Amino acid sequence: VSIATVSRVFNESPRVSEKTRIRVLEVARALHYQPHVSARSLANKRSDLVLAVIPMLTNYFYMEVVRGVQDSLADSDLDLLVYTAQAPEQVDGQLKRAMQRGRAEGILLFSTPLNESRARRIKQGGQPVVLVDSQHPAFDSISIDNKSGAEAATEHLISNGRKRIGLITGNQASIPARVRRAGYEAALQKAGLAVDPSIILVSEATHQHGYTEKVGFASMNRLLHMSEPVDAVFVASDIQALGVLRALREAGRQVPGDIAVVGFDDIQISAYVGLSTLRQPMYEMGRKAIELLLRRIEDPTLPIEHLEFEPTLIVRETSGHRASLPDQA
Partner DNA sequence: GTGAAAGCGCTAACAT
Partner DNA sequence: ATGTTAGCGCTTTCAC
Only one of the segments 16-24, 94-102, 173-181, 302-310 lies at the binding site for its own copies (rule: CB under 8 A); that segment is 94-102
In 3D space, the residue among 113, 132, 152, 128 whose CA is nearest the CA of residue 64 turns out to be 132
CB 136 within 8 A of CB 119: yes
Please report, as a single letter, which amino acid is at residue 228. Answer: E
Is 119 a binding residue for its own copies by CB under 8 A? The answer is no
Please report, as a single letter, which amino acid is at residue 129. Answer: V
In the sheet that 165-169 helps form, which strands lie side by side, from edge to edge?
Answer: 200-202, 165-169, 232-235, 260-262
Rounded to a whole number of angstroms, the minimum distance from the CB of residue 260 to its own copies is 20
Is 58 a binding residue for its own copies by CB under 8 A? The answer is yes
Distance CA 164, CA 124 (A): 50
DSSP-based three-state secondary structure for 189: helix
The upper half-sphere exposure of residue 224, i.e. CA atoms within 13 Å in the direction of its Cβ, equals 19
Is 70 a binding residue for its own copies by CB under 8 A? The answer is yes
Is 35 a binding residue for DNA by CB under 7 A? The answer is yes
Give me the torsion for CA of 13, 16, 17, 18, rounded to 10°. Answer: -30
Looking at the Cβ atoms of 21 and 246, the one nearer to DNA is: 21
Looking at the Cβ atoms of 36 and 225, the one nearer to its own copies is: 36
With CB under 5 to 8 Å by kind, the binding choice for 16 among its own copies, DNA, none is: DNA
Task: Find the binding residues for DNA in span 45-84 (CB under 7 A).
Answer: 45
Is 71 a binding residue for its own copies by CB under 8 A? The answer is yes
| Chain residues that interact with its own copies, rule: CB under 8 A | 32, 34, 36-39, 41-42, 47, 49, 57-58, 63-64, 66-67, 70-71, 79-84, 86, 97, 100-103, 124, 242, 268-269, 272-273
